[in-house]
Structure 1
Amino acid sequence: MNRALKNLRSSFIIWCLIVQNAAYGQSPDSVAYYRTVLAAQNKIGISAHRGSSEIAPENTLATFRAVLQMQVDYIEIDVRTTKDGQLVILHDGTLNRTTTGAGPVKDQALAELKKLSAAKGYDNQFQKEQIPTLDEVGELLADWNAHHPSKTNLYVDCKDVAPEPLVEILTKYGLLNDAVFYGSDEKLLALQKVAPTAKLMPGLKNADAMADKISKLHPYAFDVSWPALSESLVGQIHHQKIKVFSDLLDFYDLPSQYAKAAQFGIDVIQTDHVLKVYRTLATKMVK
């Protein structure tokens, strides 16, 4: 699909989701229906990968607002640190792919980053979107959760961030206790020293590494590589009272794979296609 058609579709989706109420509004009937069906069954949680770049530029406030309307369980964000020690949300270590800037994020002060558009490749509708700070995301999410019975939590990918400022900001907005934290084992160990009760989620690519990671990190969950997953492995992890998250992205982001995830009994699917996951699982459950 070319960029013009993608942007046109994105604009229509956002209009459908947000136009009913300027602040947040009522969710579309389809989302309410899907969530009701999922909640009545053995509910699988949904994590929106960097928000959703199909709807709006990834890791921007625009895409986070849109997926909040979809009542996702988690929003995945990538946290990095600027030259002047501010925490910002950007996946890549450089600005080149998603912004109008160039070079490493860590070499720029926040004031300079705020001059950039974070909507490279998107149409004029999004060109005023900036790289958000963690404070801005925290404020958005805290406000949403204060006004809605179903909470949305953060899935924090600790790209380049010290634990102290991360914990401080999330604590300020009441988001620390329910957030999950993904990163290297070393980063998660450092976070654990600052926030002993933080919900750590190391990656798991094969079952052989599980025992060592449990002993070392006492994880809340594993982010298990989708090719490594099986119903047996999910059972082994659940037997340890640990949750299972998995990324169903790129060529795995398909209805057949969502159905398999439900069959395996995983706890959270991470996806770029939230509504497609809802439709697939709700249809499967009502048959």
Structure 2
Amino acid sequence: MKRALKRLMPGLLLGWFIEINSVFGQLPVADSISYYRTQLKAHYKIGVSAHRGASSAALDSAAPYSAAPENTLATFRLALQMQVDYIEVDVRTTKDGSLVILHDGTLNRTTNGTGPVSDQTLADLKKLSAAKGMSDAFKSEQIPTLAEVCQLLADWNARHSAKTNLYVDCKDVAPEPLVAVLTRYGLLADAVFYGSDEKLLALKSVAAGAKLMPALKRADQMAAKIASLHPYAFDVSWPALTEALVRQIHQQNIKVFSDLLDELDTPAAYEKASRMGVDVIQTDQALQMYKTLAAKPTH
């Protein structure tokens, strides 16, 4: 019985979020996402980034279920319905130079294909399902192109006053085509870019105003990274985060993002991050974060 319920849960969750007859349907419960977002903004200046889209949802803190396949248009639609501040995407390049969204360097884990993404053409990839291990309801989901995701986001932002921006993880992509696609859809200025320092420097040479977000694993790395990259934000490792470090980064007019994933994706961690003054939390559990921080101020 439990196994059958788990197989059904993704479809039930998807139906809860999105009306059948509308790509961007209104949420059926008036005091759900909109209520939690309003409460969150009333108490905190903190944003949420949906890690690889809305790939997980939680009915309660002990029972996470996969809502839609990661890094697909289905999960990005869900993330938009959740009114997140950022959608995190992993950008890779195909054999024929197309930019696609996939976390892993190989197809094995999330698709019914095998081998490196870089060995495949876009036409090859579009023959695959990007919903390996998921409900049959998602078997038609494909690996999306960056352009398809940008179109989805641009259409959403044109219809809503509260914008959702891109958090771009530069996995395997040259800066020129990346900048060209985001510019075409009007998303470059508000996107944040994560990657190695070398990749971010290359990006800065093409788009001087790009919002760079290097990793910061230790406080003593900060000065050198500021001097070389002039970052918009730091993606600060959770073990390195302290209230003093957040304050020090903010004194440089730099924002603080931090990943709260896997075992860190908990109400206690959300509350701690908010007390420390973190600007954006990246999570797989946006609903759980909303409910936690909307319930009561933590400072």
Task: Return the TM-score normalized by structure 2.
Answer: 0.93
Post-superposition offset of 1:4: 4.9
Post-superposition offset of 1:193: 0.3
Matched, 1:23 2:23: yes
Encode CA deviations 1:94-119: one digit per residue, 9 max, x unaligned: 00000000000000000000000000
Paired with 2:21 and 2:168, the residues of 1 have a C-alpha distance of 28
Paired with 2:262 and 2:49, the residues of 1 have a C-alpha distance of 15
Q: What is the root-mean-square deviation of aligned Cα atoms in Å? A: 1.6
Post-superposition offset of 1:284: 2.0
Post-superposition offset of 1:3: 6.7
Q: Percent identity?
A: 70
Matched, 1:86 2:88: no
Paired with 1:90 and 1:59, the residues of 2 have a C-alpha distance of 6
Question: Which amino acid is the alignment partner of residue 45 of structure 1?
Answer: G
Paired with 1:4 and 1:115, the residues of 2 have a C-alpha distance of 29
- The residue that corresponds to 1:187 in the other structure is 199
Post-superposition offset of 1:9: 1.8
- The residue that corresponds to 1:150 in the other structure is 162
Paired with 2:163 and 2:124, the residues of 1 have a C-alpha distance of 33
Matched, 1:10 2:10: yes
- The residue that corresponds to 2:63 in the other structure is none
Q: Secondary structure at the match of 2:297?
A: helix
Q: Say whether the 8 Å CA contact 2:271–2:298 is kept in structure 1.
A: no
Distance 1:210 1:157, change over 3 A: same
Which range moves more in the overlay, 201-210 or 7-16? 7-16
Post-superposition offset of 1:8: 1.8
Paired with 2:7 and 2:32, the residues of 1 have a C-alpha distance of 22
Which range moves more in the overlay, 48-57 or 85-94? 48-57
Matched, 1:99 2:111: yes
Question: Which amino acid is the alignment partner of residue 259 of structure 1?
Answer: E
Post-superposition offset of 1:19: 1.4
> Gapped runs of 5+ residues in structure 2?
56-65
Question: Which amino acid is the alignment partner of residue 8 of structure 2?
Answer: L
Matched, 1:228 2:240: yes
Q: Which of 270, 280, 283 matches 1:258?
A: 270
Encode CA deviations 1:160-186: one digit per residue, 9 max, x unaligned: 000000000000000000000000000
Question: Which amino acid is the alignment partner of residue 51 of structure 2?
Answer: H
Paired with 1:259 and 1:206, the residues of 2 have a C-alpha distance of 22
Encode CA deviations 1:181-200: one digit per residue, 9 max, x unaligned: 00000000000000000000
- The residue that corresponds to 1:43 in the other structure is 45
Moved over 3 A (4+): 1-7
Distance 1:6 1:44, change over 3 A: farther
Q: Secondary structure at the match of 2:154?
A: helix
> Gapped runs of 5+ residues in structure 1?
none
Paired with 2:94 and 2:154, the residues of 1 have a C-alpha distance of 23
Post-superposition offset of 1:12: 1.3
Task: Return the TM-score normalized by structure 1.
Answer: 0.97
Q: Secondary structure at the match of 2:270?
A: helix
Question: Which amino acid is the alignment partner of residue 206 of structure 1?
Answer: R
Paired with 2:14 and 2:219, the residues of 1 have a C-alpha distance of 40
Q: Which of 116, 126, 131 matches 1:119?
A: 131
Q: Say whether the 8 Å CA contact 1:222–1:244 is kept in structure 2.
A: yes
How many corresponding residue pairs?
A: 287
Within-5 A mapping of 1:201-216: 201-216=213-228
Paired with 2:43 and 2:268, the residues of 1 have a C-alpha distance of 19
Paired with 2:3 and 2:282, the residues of 1 have a C-alpha distance of 24
Q: Say whether the 8 Å CA contact 1:3–1:121 is kept in structure 2.
A: no
Distance 1:171 1:240, change over 3 A: same
Encode CA deviations 1:46-95: one digit per residue, 9 max, x unaligned: 00000122210000000000110000000000000000000000000000
Q: Say whether the 8 Å CA contact 2:275–2:298 is kept in structure 1.
A: no
Paired with 1:2 and 1:155, the residues of 2 have a C-alpha distance of 35
Q: Which of 63, 68, 71 matches 1:56?
A: 68
Paired with 2:114 and 2:6, the residues of 1 have a C-alpha distance of 25
Matched, 1:270 2:282: yes
Post-superposition offset of 1:286: 9.2
Paired with 2:279 and 2:208, the residues of 1 have a C-alpha distance of 23
